[in-house]
Amino acid sequence: MPALACVDAAAPPPGYVFAWDGALPAPGAFPGGTPTTAVGVTADRPSNWSTDLSASLYRIDGWGAPYFCVNSDGDIAVRPHGAATLARQEIDLMKVVKKATDPKSAGGLGLRLPLLVRLPDVLKHRLESLQHAFDFAIRSNGYGSRYQGVYPVKCNQDRYIVEDVVEFGAPFRFGLEAGSKAELLLAMSCLTRGSPDAFLICNGYKDEEYIALALFARSMDLNTVIVLEQEEELDTVVDTSQRLGVRPVIGLRAKIRTRHSGHFGSTSGEKGKFGLTTAQILSVARKLQRLDMLDCLQLLHFHIGSQIPTTSLLSDGVGEAAQIYCELARLGAAMRVIDIGGGLGIDYDGSHSDASDMSVGYGLDEYAGAVVRAVMFTCDRKLVRHPIICSESGRALVSHQSVLIFEAVSSNATRAAPSSSVCPNPALFINELADDARSDYNNLMAAAYRGEDETCAVYANQLKQRCIDYFKDGVLSLEHLAAVDGICDLVAEELGVADPVRTYHINLSLFASMPDFWAIGQLFPVVPIHHLDQQPGVKGILSDLTCDSDGKVDRFIGGQSSLPLHEIKGGAYYLGMFLGGAYQEALGGLHNLFGGPSVVRVAQSDGPHCFAVTLAVPGPSCADALRAMRHEPEAMIAALGHRAEECAAGDAVPCAIARAFDCMPYLVRGAEEEERESMMRCLGL
């Protein structure tokens, strides 16, 4: 007889609360059998599971190539030099986590999670790969000029990233692009150590102060180009340049008609946010001619949109812009640069597809080849000298260079086991149910005995809803309701209709570290960084620490609504978010006053672990988060100390409170030895 049919009704003992230990009869198989677990997620790990199967399951060979792989220990490893990385040069992310989080007394850095791992070697390889792709396209097509890129600092303004770009890009005349006064100051400072030929492209809306800064940069021999986003900016450029006595180099941003239909295509087309129409471009050119400044006009800029999905769309847009470039040359402008903007996409989901914003259907070589051929074709047809090709490929440069590592601290059970304090026997509560609820229960048992799965489900749902209504009316106790829930959950499990997806609680703020997921639905690869030599046995979603229902990750690459995960069995369980090096840090907020992560900068080395930590920065403390919202931690500490003294709370309380201001807002699994000893001294123990 099926397990549920074995539950016999019995007279309950006197009293309101039962003494059931919460143990339902051991579930047997329903007639017809229990449905099998989904492919790739099973509680039983077959002996033939391999790291290759994990790489395939999580698409690591798709989105991760050539920088991330699964090593023989089942950990995610970084290949800092791409495909040219030797086995002894691979960096095991679990070893990085251990180095970063181990206490200082054990040779670690004593940092707390979450942890952002920066990989400058990967950034260098990305920049060199982009340059080499254009160099190859130029050579193979016989193009008559060169490629000279810039990094748009808005993608990630971190000091070390920008300085790395300038250093790594110096042999290629690689420059920077700024879109605000603060970014312009940053770019000016960094480019003093870069190539003297590197471009400093000044985009964004401009006032007199912005333009004056750009002209100051030009007076300091920085290769500065002021790109007009609006027609009226020309008057300010002319007036300011005459006042300062600095002749400007001017560019125009064109509103081209080519656009793509995805989320990132909204910045292009005639209705785009930025740029000049064809009529405005002609107006600017004629005004410069009247002012005898047409030789100042040297660059044409346009932007189709981020994550351009196909090279055919790219070629169409570049061809249209090249026509405008040639027309400006015909009108007498001293044109020499075509700036194709951003748009070089990356493959977030590993599909190498043009079907969504999460992937692109081309690689670096195909992208560069399409650009070079489109410019070359138009210029040759118009008998115009080939221009320098500039691009602002920020997302493609910096997305791979950082990995966000965070911990899953707990997960909810598929079915909560009833507590021993609920009631002694599930059968004993039956006689206390109302007649209609007891009838539902008896019908449920009868259907279970007959093996009628659908009828079982109907009566289980009916019993549960009826008892909820009685509970709301005050007729049933909490213990009654918990017992009914337990039986109905068991029915759902036996029928195979129970929700198999667990919620994993992660030590992270989605709003601080993955804002694009919440804001625009951007998907990032999220993968366990260890245990990949074992088959995952759970399907899960991720819930962050914030008090916000949007603080969860319930959509994953590949169109999945859950992520294959491993059981949390006492030890730490680490996950990594990959390809998030662009935009996330600058866009991250302070929801619930959770700040950013701790940061380590990790370079490949010949040491025993193949890496060296060249920079370690603790994450923002509670005091830092409070200061960002105009609070004064010092005054707060003083006020709380005064209240503790008034209440005779003892010296330990203000000491502990003061220490709390210096801690990160995130959870701590266990205090480090040094911190524990310090706290004990603080408490006088």
With a cut of 90, say whether residue 496 has pLDDT above it: no
Q: Residue 80 CB: number of other CB atoms within 10 A?
A: 25
Residue closest to 19 by CA, chosen among 603, 423, 588, 467: 423
Secondary structure letter of residue 55 according to DSSP? H
Q: Find the mean pLDDT for residues 540-566.
A: 94
Residues in the chain: 685
Selection from 58-72, 476-490, 491-505 with the highest mean pLDDT = 58-72
Q: How far apart are the first and last CA of the chain?
A: 61
Tokens standing for residue 643 = 């209240």
Q: What is the pLDDT of residue 590?
A: 93
Say how far apart CA 392 and CA 371 lie, in whole Å.
Answer: 13
User: Which of these is catalytic: 547, 647, 655, 682?
Assistant: 547
Percentage of residues of the chain with pLDDT beyond 90: 73
Q: Of 586, 683, 614, 636, which Cα lies nearest the Cα of 152?
A: 586
Model confidence at 488, pLDDT cuts 50, 70, 90, reads confident
CA 684 to chain centre: 43
Highest-pLDDT range among 156-160, 416-420, 498-502, 680-684 = 156-160
Q: What is the mean pLDDT of the chain?
A: 88
* 424 vs 262: CA distance, rounded Å: 59
pLDDT category at 434 given cuts 50, 70, 90 is: confident
**Lowest model confidence (mean pLDDT) among 303-312, 398-407, 586-595, 645-654:** 645-654
For the segment 223-275, what is each residue's pLDDT rounded down to a tens digit?
999 999 999 999 999 999 999 999 999 999 999 988 776 666 666 666 677 89
Mean pLDDT (whole number) for 384-405: 97
Contacts of 502 (CB under 8 A, 6+ apart): 411, 412, 413, 414, 538, 539, 540, 541, 565
> Residue 440 contacts by C-beta under 8 Å, 6 or more apart in sequence?
459, 462, 463, 466
Higher pLDDT, 552 or 3: 552
Residue 379 is among the residues annotated as catalytic for this protein: no
pTM across the whole model: 0.88
Interior angle at CA 600, CA 168 and CA 402, nearest 5: 60
pLDDT range class, residue 37, cuts 50, 70, 90? very low
Residue 650, pLDDT score: 85
Q: Residue 678 — very low, low, confident or very high, per pLDDT cuts 50/70/90?
A: low
Q: What is the pLDDT of residue 28?
A: 39
* Residue 430, pLDDT above cutoff 90: no
Encode burial over 352-364: b for 16+ CB neighbours within 10 A, e otherwise: eebebbbbbbbeb
| pLDDT per position as a tens digit, 273-294 | 789 999 999 999 999 999 999 9
